[in-house]
Amino acid sequence: MAAKRSPPFRAEHCGSLLRPQELVQKRYDVAAGKATQAELEPLEDKSIEEVVKLQKDCGLSVVSSGEYARHMFWGTFFETLNGMKELQLGVLKGYDASIFRPYAPDVKSFMEAKEVPNAVTVCTGKISHPGVSSYQREVDIMKKLVPEKDWGNIKITMISPSWYHFRYKAGRSFPKEVYANDEEYFEDVAAAYQTELGILHGLGIRNIQIDDPNLAYFCSDAMLEGWAADSDNTKTADEMLDAYVKFYNKCFQRPDDMHLGIHLCRGNYVGSRHFSEGAYDNIAKKLFQDLNVDTYYLEYDTPRAGGFEPLAHLPKNKNVVLGVITSKFPKLEDKDEMIGRINQAGEIIAKASGQTKEEALQRVCVSPQCGFASHAEGNELGYEDMRKKLQLVRGIADAVWPGEP
Q: How far apart, in whole angstroms, are the C-alpha atoms of residue 345 and residue 115?
A: 39
In order of 13, 305, 393, the CA distances from 279 in angstroms are 21, 5, 23
Q: How far apart, in whole angstroms, are the C-alpha atoms of residue 393 and residue 339?
A: 10
Q: How far apart, in whole angstroms, are the C-alpha atoms of residue 291 and residue 293?
A: 6
Residue 104, pLDDT > 80, answer yes
For the stretch 73-103, pLDDT in tens is 888 899 999 999 987 654 344 445 778 898 9
Asked if residue 363 is part of any domain, the answer here is yes
Cβ-contact 13, 60 below 8 angstroms: yes
| Mean pLDDT (whole number) for 121-133 | 96
| Mean pLDDT (whole number) for 365-382 | 91
Local confidence band at 31 (pLDDT 50, 70, 90 cut-offs) = confident
Bridging pattern class, strands 121-128 and 259-264: unpaired
Higher pLDDT, 97 or 217: 217
Bridging pattern class, strands 155-159 and 319-325: unpaired
Residue 119, pLDDT > 80, answer no
Cβ-contact 56, 63 below 8 angstroms: yes
Q: How far apart, in whole angstroms, are the C-alpha atoms of residue 349 and residue 360?
A: 6
Region at 325 (left for phi over 0; alpha for psi -120 to 50; beta for the rest) = beta
Alpha helices in 175-236 (DSSP H): 182-202, 214-217, 221-229
pLDDT of amino acid 369: 94
| Mean pLDDT (whole number) for 213-221 | 92
Domain that holds residue 196: 21-77+132-163+189-400
Asked if residue 120 is part of any domain, the answer here is no
| Apex 376 CA angle, 31 and 207, nearest 5 | 110
How many structural domains compose the chain? 1
Alpha helices in 146-181 (DSSP H): 163-166
3-state SS assignment for residue 205: coil
Residue 332, pLDDT > 50, answer yes
Name the range with the highest mean pLDDT among 80-94, 177-191, 264-278: 177-191
Cβ-contact 136, 77 below 8 angstroms: no
Q: pTM to 2 decimals?
A: 0.94
**Mean pLDDT taken over the chain:** 92
pLDDT of amino acid 118: 61
For the stretch 146-157, pLDDT in tens is 999 999 999 999
pLDDT of amino acid 276: 66
Peptide bond before residue 8 is cis, with ω within 30 degrees of 0: yes
Residue 12, pLDDT > 90, answer yes
Compute how many other C-beta atoms are within 10 angstroms of the C-beta atom of residue 90: 9
Asked if residue 100 is part of any domain, the answer here is no
For the stretch 200-210, pLDDT in tens is 999 999 999 99
Asked if residue 85 is part of any domain, the answer here is no
Residues in Cβ contact with 220 at an 8 Å cutoff, skipping those fewer than 6 apart: 105, 276, 277, 278
Asked if residue 107 is part of any domain, the answer here is no
Residue 259's nearest CA partner among 220, 302, 317 is 317
pLDDT of amino acid 252: 98
* Sequence-ordered strand ranges (E) for 265-334: 295-299, 319-325
CATH code for position 282? 3.20.20.210
| Mean pLDDT (whole number) for 319-346 | 97
pLDDT of amino acid 17: 96
Residue 273, pLDDT > 60, answer no
C-alpha of 325 from chain center: 16
| Mean pLDDT (whole number) for 236-262 | 98
